[in-house]
Structure 1
Amino acid sequence: MIKKHEIYKRDKWNMLTVEVQGKYIVVREISDQWGEETQTFLSRPALMHWAKNHFPKEDFVGREEEWTEIMNAFKEV
């Protein structure tokens, strides 16, 4: 069974979802800039490490609430 989590969705071209497929955690990021990118993880700590590197808090100065929402969504996976 695949369980899908939506981390964020701005529109149909800018979104990030996480699917739990058995022991794998698959991140799919779609952006109008880069197209679709997929990352696969074997553990939640590895996923969180990637998320913190991919969404550095410094990039969200003035938008700390948005960063917190994204990190909380990853933690719920």
Structure 2
Amino acid sequence: MIKKHEIYKKDKWNMMTVEVQGKYIVLREISDQWGEETHTFLSRPALMDWVNRRFPKEEYAGNEEEWNSLMTAFKQV
């Protein structure tokens, strides 16, 4: 059984989904800049490590609410 989580979606070109496929966690990041990137993780800690590097809190200074909602969404995976 695959569990799919939509982390955020601005439009059909800027979105991120996470699928839990058995022991794998597959993250798909689609952006108008880079196209589609797929990342596969073997554990939630590995996923969260990537998330913290991909979305450093410093980049969201003044917009902590958006950062907090991203982190909450990832923690629910």
Shorter-chain TM-score tier: over 0.9
Give RMSD over aligned pairs.
0.4
Q: What is residue 20 of structure 1 aligned with on the other side?
A: 20
**C-alpha deviation, 1:4, in angstroms:** 0.3
**How many residues get paired?**
77
Taking structure 2 as the reference length, the TM-score comes to 0.98
Matched, 1:59 2:52: no
Runs (5+) with no aligned partner, structure 2:
none
Q: What is residue 74 of structure 1 aligned with on the other side?
A: 74
What per-residue deviation string (whole Å, max 9, x for no partner) do you get for residues 20-51 of structure 1?
Answer: 00000000000000000000000000000000
**C-alpha deviation, 1:55, in angstroms:** 0.3
Q: What is residue 11 of structure 1 aligned with on the other side?
A: 11
Runs (5+) with no aligned partner, structure 1:
none
Taking structure 1 as the reference length, the TM-score comes to 0.98
Aligned equivalents of 2:17, 2:31: Cα separation in 1: 12
Q: Structure 1 segments of 4 or more deviating over 2 A?
A: none
Amino acid at match of 1:59: E
**C-alpha deviation, 1:13, in angstroms:** 0.2
